[in-house]
Structure 1
Amino acid sequence: MDTLKEPLQQQKMTQTGDIWVWKNYENQEFCVKNVKLAPSQNLDINSSPNNYCWNNWATGKSAAFVWRVIDEKIPSAVALRNRGMNVHDVTCKICGADDETAVHILLKCNLAKRIWEAVSTWTRIPTVNSVSSITELLQMILEGQRSRTVRKMLHAIAIETMWILWKNRNDEVFTGRHRAAQTIIEDIKVTTFLGVKIRSKHSTITKQEWWDFNLNM
């Protein structure tokens, strides 16, 4: 109680009336102008915008997830440590080969490499393991030599693959559930097949055509 009383007794009351103030502008009465100025002090207005291409054939959750991934905004171990959280071990909980960043989880982890090799073989796209960033991967797919429709399908597959890899990581970390690579690949095929059939006009694609990725488009 004495510890609480001491700082209270040091406060001096004034005869002026109360006013609303905005953080960092305590010496001024509240105004909308100061609210607008506050974000500009924390943002680099000269930084390049995120040129992420949204794909409505992928689920909304997976598309939003990858958008956040590009700027390292997902809660990987390294990202949490950089935000000030007390994370003692930031190594990848799946392979243990490197620090757990977004790029590592979704591209560089040994399990992720195996999944992308299988996806590359299935869809006949260049080896994904040669790229160094998520942006580079998505750009490579969008600028490929396939038809516009197939490129959009491949883009949706890439987005869903990263989302499923992230969910698998969370299962491993929080529940100890371990899934085989083949199970993850089957999940990717099923999820993307249903997504394209439901969200695009290509509802006549058969499961066999999708599994063989034999699409005449």
Structure 2
Amino acid sequence: MSVSDEIVAEAGTGNTVKVKFWIDNWCNGKRFKERFPGLFKIARNKQVKVAKCVTKLENENQWNLGWVRPPNSDAEWAQWWNMLYLPNNVRFKPESDTWMWKLNNNGEFTVAAIPKQIVKEDVLETADEWKHWNSWIPPKVNYFTWRAAIERIPVKKELIKRRIPIDNQLCLRCEEEEESADHVICGCIRSKPIWKSILVWLKVPTYTQFERCTDVLEHVTSLSGSKEWKKVINTVLQTTMWNLWKARNEMEFKGNIRSGNNIVENIMADSFIWLKSKSKIQNIVWERWVDFNIRDIVK
């Protein structure tokens, strides 16, 4: 056990700003430079203070980190999404930055606490890390599905939380329920037929009813098949989430009502293009893709 690992920083908004974003132990028990070494390597300012790179909003924190170059590999993008997820809900104290000894409830250092910690098994796991990063789809789609899963997309429910005046909080597509992220993607009567059509096309059980965005992403793990096969399914499911959001926006801002068939066709086309350009699956052709007849070419 490292004693320094048991000293945690509490970032504040007071006059004394000391806690460093990459260097100090201030978010869920591990320094970011150790948890995300790929990002630390390309960080422009490795000594930047937490308070200098965060914009505090009512329901979330937005982070502005400078880079020598943008993340450009699958590993770096995966670390980026996971890193953003961890500090998203950190609450800042109104006082100045402070350090605390986490083995004691009162935050004070005692030698007696050290042997007690040494004999404890280290079971600290990052349960909330984002596990659904998919290198076959564009970063903007990965980012959207992550934001949708944590209910941080600009639906009416979230806008109202931010005190943005909304005349009608109901979903414009069904006009029956409050517009939340889970409703738009899964629960709306205009979304459910899309999901059924996609599941039929994928030749997977259609009795599944998605209630939340996380249900969609976790569904892949319940299916049988190889890792590559599940990644194909994940690609289609995330593409479906993205297209349902686009259809919502077209109706909300342009008044365009897209048919279910049109949305399904776009899901097929987008996922085919992304697989064709990003994956290493050979001999995938449109004629077989539209029938989802690809089992023999997926490992």
TM-score with structure 2 setting the length: 0.59
**Which aligned pairs between 1:82-97 and structure 2 lie closer than 5 A?**
82-97=161-176
Which of the residues 160, 170, 173 maps onto 2:252?
Answer: 173
Give the 3-state SS of the residue equivalent to 1:190 in structure 2: helix
Shift of 1:33: 3.6
Distance 1:166 1:135 in 2: 15
Q: Which has the larger radius of gyration?
A: 1
Give the equivalent residue in structure 2 for 1:60.
Answer: 139
Distance 2:146 2:207 in 1: 19
Give the equivalent residue in structure 1 for 2:285.
Answer: 206
Distance 1:53 1:115 in 2: 21
Give the equivalent residue in structure 2 for 1:69.
Answer: 148
Check whether the contact 1:160–1:192 (CA below 8 A) recurs between aligned residues. Answer: yes
Give the 3-state SS of the residue equivalent to 2:191 in structure 1: helix
- Higher percent of residues as strand: 2
**Which aligned pairs between 1:108-127 and structure 2 lie closer than 5 A?**
108-127=187-206
Give the equivalent residue in structure 2 for 1:43.
Answer: 90
Matched, 1:25 2:14: yes
Letter in 1 for 2:204: I
Structure 2, unaligned runs of 5 or more: 1-11, 21-48, 55-86, 92-123
Which of the residues 226, 229, 244 maps onto 1:150?
Answer: 229
**Which aligned pairs between 1:90-109 and structure 2 lie closer than 5 A?**
90-109=169-188
Distance 1:108 1:50 in 2: 25
Identity of aligned residues (%): 27
Q: Measured at CA, do residues 148 and 36 of structure 1 come closer, stay the same or move farther in structure 2, by a change above 3 Å?
A: closer
- Higher percent of residues as helix: 1
Q: Measured at CA, do residues 24 and 54 of structure 1 come closer, stay the same or move farther in structure 2, by a change above 3 Å?
A: closer
Greater displacement, 152-161 / 140-149: 140-149
Shift of 1:193: 0.6
Q: How many residues align?
A: 191
Check whether the contact 1:58–1:157 (CA below 8 A) recurs between aligned residues. Answer: no
Give the alignment's Cα RMSD to 1 decimal: 2.5
Give the 3-state SS of the residue equivalent to 1:107 in structure 2: helix
Give the 3-state SS of the residue equivalent to 2:264 in structure 1: helix
Shift of 1:96: 1.0
Give the equivalent residue in structure 2 for 1:79.
Answer: 158
Give the 3-state SS of the residue equivalent to 1:142 in structure 2: helix
Deviations 1:23-49 (A, max 9, x none): 8424xxx44349547978x616x9952
Distance 1:37 1:187 in 2: 43
Letter in 2 for 1:127: T
Shift of 1:128: 6.7
